[in-house]
Chains A and B, each alone.
Chain A
Amino acid sequence: MGILKRAKELLPVAKGNKKSKTLDGKILATCFFEPSTRTRLSFESAMQRLGGSCIGFADPSATSHLKGETLSDAIRMVAGYSDAVVLRHPREGAAKLASEVSEVPIINGGDGAGQHPTQTLLDLFTIKDEIGKLEGLKVGMLGDLRYGRTVHSLSQALNRFNTKFFFISPKSLAMPEHVTDVLDSHWSTHENLKEVLGDLDVLYVTRIQKERFPDLEDYKKVAGAYKINAELLKNAKSKMKILHPLPRVDEISTDVDETKHAAYFRQAFNGVPVRMALLEEMIGAKK
């Protein structure tokens, strides 16, 4: 919670309205072995807003990775050039392995289908900022709940705040048991969004991934079922907020963008102050 509080204080710095030099002279290495837009750019923005600088790569084909260099060797090398490393990697457990060989802190920027903890932090920050609290909310999670790492991590984090969960998905993309098994709070599963929309304080939408469906017709059926537009949202509470880790395809119609429910672009911006707070905590000068 200290990170979220500090992130709120850093909002003017994140927006460029106030200057800060808390990470002056520090170097962050961003090592992205997989494509990323929001995570990489928001870390780089966060670092530079705090007076630090960045090195790194966004395309592993330009590194020794293709020559057969192991991740462990690459991390040992990069750790020697920087004060902290952000790592995104296609294999689960990559950040854990990196942390075992690195002399500087490793930040997991997403490891395969594993974890994406800084996304969860910014999701929590956004919910608190938009709704005013985290405790006792009714949160719907919709879309690809089976493979989406953001909803797995976020449900575990919200479980600490007495959340009532509504998991809305086609049966084939339902929330996995290993996630629901560890939830203390009340949760229920639904196939139809309309059944529960009016109850929700937050609706967290994820993209349904076409490539998961062997039959294209099945995909079209479920993808269409979860298309959210301004008309549908007339049945929602007036203060209900919609979050989405982005990128979206067509699960949220663009006419939602102008409604009071749309929080997803502010959510994407919140990656900057939250990552600023995290970087200060990890490599900032000790107070």
Chain B
Amino acid sequence: MSENLLKVQPIRNGTVIDHIRAGRGRKILDILGLSNSGTTISLLVNVQSKKQKRKDMIKIEDRELDENEIEKLALLSPNARVNIIRNYAVAEKKEVEIPSFISNIVHCSNENCISNNERGVSSNFKLIDEETHQIQCTYCGRKIEEDKLNFL
């Protein structure tokens, strides 16, 4: 990671998201609303990687991702790594893992599901396949593939 980090200016404080699946960086910026967050964001696309051949990276200055954002990130790029930077050093490394229970992050794709038609109801999913990252709505039972997620 450190070699790639040198390709752009190091950040003093903030978050570096590494090992993002190539091509997913822009979507992560959109879904986490980072482009409009008022902080400086660097997006590296198609960076060479020993592990993944190609990967994307995001550097966010003066902002640390919260747990809800990390859960969203896990659904978008399950093998990503989050590095919290404080005073130019990696202060924390967070493994990104899809939680077994996912609440209020994605819409159910079934338009007739009660979770899409009742005020005040959270969408709730359980992870049913750790390899394919398929999730299932706990209300209507609809299974959703990882590449068809519709984020709230």
Q: Chain A interface (Cβ within 8 Å of chain B)?
A: 70-72, 89-94, 96-97, 111-114, 178
Assuming A91-B114, A113-B112, is B143 touching A97 (CB within 8 A)? no
Which residues does chain B contribute within 8 Å of A111, judged by CB atoms? 114, 140
Is there an interface contact between A94 and B114, defined as CB atoms closer than 8 Å?
yes
Is A70 a contact of B141 with CB atoms below 8 Å?
A: no
Q: What A residues does B114 contact at CB under 8 A?
A: 71, 89, 91-94, 96-97, 111
Q: Is the CB of A178 within 8 A of B143?
A: yes
Interface size on B, residues (CB 8 A): 17
Closest A residue, CB atoms, query B141: A114
A112: chain B residues within 8 A (beta carbon): 112, 140
Contact A72 B113, CB 8 Å, known A92-B139, A93-B140, A97-B139: no
Pull 8 A–B residue pairs with CB atoms less than 8 Å apart, ordered by A.
A91-B112, A91-B114, A96-B138, A96-B139, A111-B140, A112-B112, A112-B140, A113-B112
The total number of A-B Cβ pairs within 8 Å is 50
Min CB gap A111→B, angstroms: 8
In the bound complex, how far is the Cα of B140 from the Cα of A112, in angstroms?
9
Contact check: which of B117, B119, B120, B143 meets A91 at CB < 8 Å?
B117
User: From A113, which residue of chain B is reached at the shortest CB distance?
Assistant: B112
Chain B 128-152 per-residue mask, 1 if CB under 8 angstroms from chain A, else 0: 0000000001111111000000000
Expressed in whole angstroms, the Cα–Cα distance for A162 and B138 within the complex equals 28
Q: Could you say which residues of chain A place their CB within 8 Å of the CB of B120?
A: 70, 72
Query: Closest Cβ of chain A: how far from B111's Cβ, in Å?
Result: 10
What residues on B are CB-neighbors of A97 within 8 Å?
A: 114-115, 118, 121, 139
**What are the residues of chain B within 8 A of A72 when measuring CB–CB?**
118, 120-121
